[in-house]
Amino acid sequence: MQKNINIGLVGFGYAGQTFHAPLIAATAGFNLRVVASSQPDLVTSKYPQADVVANAEALITDERVDLVVLATPNASHYPLACAALAAGKHVVVDKPFTLTVAEARDLVSRAAASGKILSIFHNRRWDADFLGLKALLASGRLGEIVQFESQFDRYRPQIRDRWRESAELGSGLWFDLGPHLIDQTLQLFGPPQAVFADLQMRRTGAQAVDDFHVLLRYPTMRVKLSASCLVSGGTPRYVLHGSLASFSKQGLDVQESQLKAGLLPTAAGFGLDPIRGLLHHSVNDQIQSEEIVMPLGQYVAYYAAVRDAVLGLGKNPVTPSEGLLIMQIVEAAQQSADMGAWVDMEAFYE
């Protein structure tokens, strides 16, 4: 019988409260033992079994903690992950993995030398609509894929006073949503050959990217990734065009909104996407559409896989090498936006 894995959660802001703590609590074999937060009363009201410490250093050096989860601002991911690995802890770091390719390469080396699990929280691999899209792609019903479009739009015209929208390095939509869209694309099609990016600050007074359009070039297809804070609705989340059919899907995965509303991952209906996808194909020169039911979203599957990896019973669900590849594309896109030109990925992959 394996002992429970003691978790130390660094940060109890939006990511810590909404995603990590509930998913950790719902994972068999995990024990949320210590939380580093400046809001001890809030933590205790939700997780009375957890001890609260004032800072990350106290948590990382706590001998009771087996696995450190970093739900902290982006700029802190690299130094805190380094410290946790040096302290002999397994580590989960929220995306983005790091702020630069150099930091990502260093963490890959440190993780390998430590013999500990270092994983990145790319929960959107387990979005209901993405799972449905993957299954449809694997079925072959679309034929040869020629174009994939992935959009994650929000309507947030007013700039909020928070680090994600500040001039701080690692802020803005490209670091917030870009890694998710890149990761999903890599899961479907692997590394691209080249990148072209338009990264903009469109809202009045914006200090960080709030609108991006990025093209990824593949040998026989292209990918379009985009996100904006100034789209009030109507755009599809996914569009996938193939030689036999096309697929489109509206709406966003419901798991984030369910977790934000306090719904537990064990509750009936958790992860159930109410919006069906549409498969469009031609029959006798007439376009016909077929509804495609999405599978259940499974954010809990990420932490279950982390648990198994720590126990030596399974693979790391999101590896440091995968995090490095994502950061290579993030950085190439920034270079492309500065140059206004396509950037070949070959030099980044070396």
Return per-residue pLDDT of the chain as tens, 350 residues. 467 999 999 999 999 999 999 999 999 999 999 999 999 999 999 999 999 999 999 999 999 999 999 999 999 999 999 999 999 999 999 999 999 999 999 999 999 999 999 999 999 999 999 999 999 999 999 999 999 999 999 999 999 988 888 888 889 999 999 999 999 999 999 999 999 999 999 999 999 999 999 999 999 999 999 999 999 988 999 999 999 999 999 999 999 999 999 999 999 999 999 999 999 987 777 889 999 999 999 999 999 999 999 999 999 999 999 999 999 999 999 999 999 999 999 989 87
Same domain for 114 and 241, yes or no, is: no
Could you tell me if residue 22 is inside a domain?
yes
336 assigned to some structural domain: yes
Report how far residue 11's alpha carbon sits from residue 92's, in angstroms, rounded to the nearest whole number. Answer: 12
8 half-sphere exposure, CB direction, 13 A CA radius:
26
Q: Is residue 220 part of a domain?
A: yes
Q: Residue 109: what are its φ and ψ, rounded to 5°?
A: -65, -45
Q: Which residues pair with 213 in a beta bridge?
A: 198, 226
86 and 133: one domain? no
* CATH code of the domain in which 260 resides: 3.30.360.10
CATH number at residue 15: 3.40.50.720
For residue 262, being part of any structural domain is answered with yes
Letter for the amino acid at 121? F
Structural domains in the chain (count): 2
- 84/138 same-domain check: no
Task: Give the separation between CA 87 and CA 58, rounded to whole angstroms.
Answer: 11
| Residue 205 and residue 105 share a domain | no
Which has the closest alpha carbon to 36: 21, 24, 25?
A: 21
Q: What is the pLDDT of residue 1?
A: 46
pLDDT (0 to 100) of residue 2: 64
Domain that holds residue 70: 5-121
249: β partners: 238
Inside any domain, residue 312: no
Q: Is 37 part of any domain?
A: yes
What integer pLDDT is reported at residue 70 of this predicted model?
98
Whether 152 and 281 map to the same domain: the answer is: yes
Supply the pLDDT for residue 233: 87
Domain membership flag for residue 316:
no
Please report whether residue 141 resides in a domain: yes
User: Which of residues 121, 150, 173 is at a domain's end?
Assistant: 121
Largest pairwise CA distance in the chain: 68
For residues 107 and 144, state if they share a domain: no
- Are 224 and 186 in a shared domain? yes
51 and 142, same domain (yes or no) = no
Through-space distance between the first and last CA atoms of the chain, rounded to whole angstroms: 44
- Domain final position from 78, 99, 121: 121
pTM value surpassing 0.75: yes
Based on the fold, state whether residues 189 and 235 are members of the same structural domain: yes
Residues 132 and 110 in one domain: no
Give yes or no: residues 89 and 180 share one domain. Answer: no
List, edge to edge, every strand of the sheet that includes 145-151. Answer: 286-292, 277-283, 246-249, 238-242, 145-151, 222-228, 211-217, 194-200, 343-344
337 plus 233 within the same structural domain: yes
Domain-ending residue, one of 72, 104, 121: 121
